[in-house]
Structure 1
Amino acid sequence: MAQLNLRIDDKLMEEAAKFFEEIGMDLSTGIEIYLKKVVREQAIPFALSVPQNDYAKSAGEFERGDFKTASSSEELRKDLEDTDEP
């Protein structure tokens, strides 16, 4: 049987070990179950995503047509003053 050595944050390991203990297994068994699922599904068993930065978020809003226009600087200023956003 192979042995796996990992370097992970102490708090993360403690919290994971506590969770697995609460459901009746040790940390090693929990990690083995995870790895078996990865192999069986040939995929990470949860969605991976990267938080959108402001530019990417704004570009997505623009592509969806989710934006406002103003015909003058006064109209823009009034719209900015009337917004509820900070």
Structure 2
Amino acid sequence: MVLGALFFLAGTVGLLRFPDVHARLHALTKADNVGLGFLLLGLALEAGSAAVAAKLFVTWCLVLLASASVSHVIARAALRRGVEPWQR
């Protein structure tokens, strides 16, 4: 579970440090999905029940699908509003 929390922390740092919407969104999506996976894996190991582990896995799968869809919608809305990706 600590590893999951570290990924959440890394996503937060990415949110604060990256220069534009697209890079921030990428950092948050990746870190949150992996962080949640590790967090739910730790919870499943602590629960000791296969039924609880299956429910946690289904929850993680739903969050993966939802976060990908929402990230796409946010990035598309940013492009439509004229927010250009950052370039060096």
Higher relative contact order (CA 8 A, sep 6+): 2
Please identify which structure carries the higher helix content. 2
Smaller-chain TM-score bracket: under 0.3
TM-score by length of 2: 0.24
Q: Looking at CA atoms only, which structure, 1 or 2, has the larger radius of gyration?
A: 1
